[in-house]
Amino acid sequence: DGMPQRMILNEFLKSVEKAGALHKLVLALQNGLKYRALTGASYLSLLQSAWAMAKDDDMTLSQAMFSANAPMIIQKAMVEGRPAEGVLPSGQVAGTIDDLPSCAELIGRIAKEAEECIALLAGRVS
């Protein structure tokens, strides 16, 4: 939809953020071509979209071209199941998360809360 969004920071995203302008341009062009093949969009329409985003959203042309990567690198992570090779959108709530337990800790907490709820409900019945 062209709207800015937060991404979960991973090694791929770190490498993209550290990449030089030429590397970002090459990546943008590669993914733009993949996106074109997927959607059937013309080269002209892709360039028009990038230009419009740059003009309307206070982005540089480079940023707008790089945004063409989003559908492809999100797809790589979410559809193809390769999160280390793409990015995972996280939504606005990601900025409020300050607790990142391991899976084992999270399951333990959920089980403990469930047991407490069951005990509370059982106490009401008896």
DSSP 33-75: HHHHHHH---HHHHHHHHHHHHHHTT--HHHHHHTTHHHHHHH
- pLDDT for the residue numbered 119: 96
**pLDDT exceeds 70 at position 7:** yes
**pLDDT exceeds 90 at position 120:** yes
pLDDT tens for 89-112 read 887 776 677 888 999 999 999 999
**pLDDT exceeds 60 at position 75:** yes
- pLDDT for the residue numbered 61: 67
Backbone angles phi, psi at 62, to 5 degrees: -60, -45
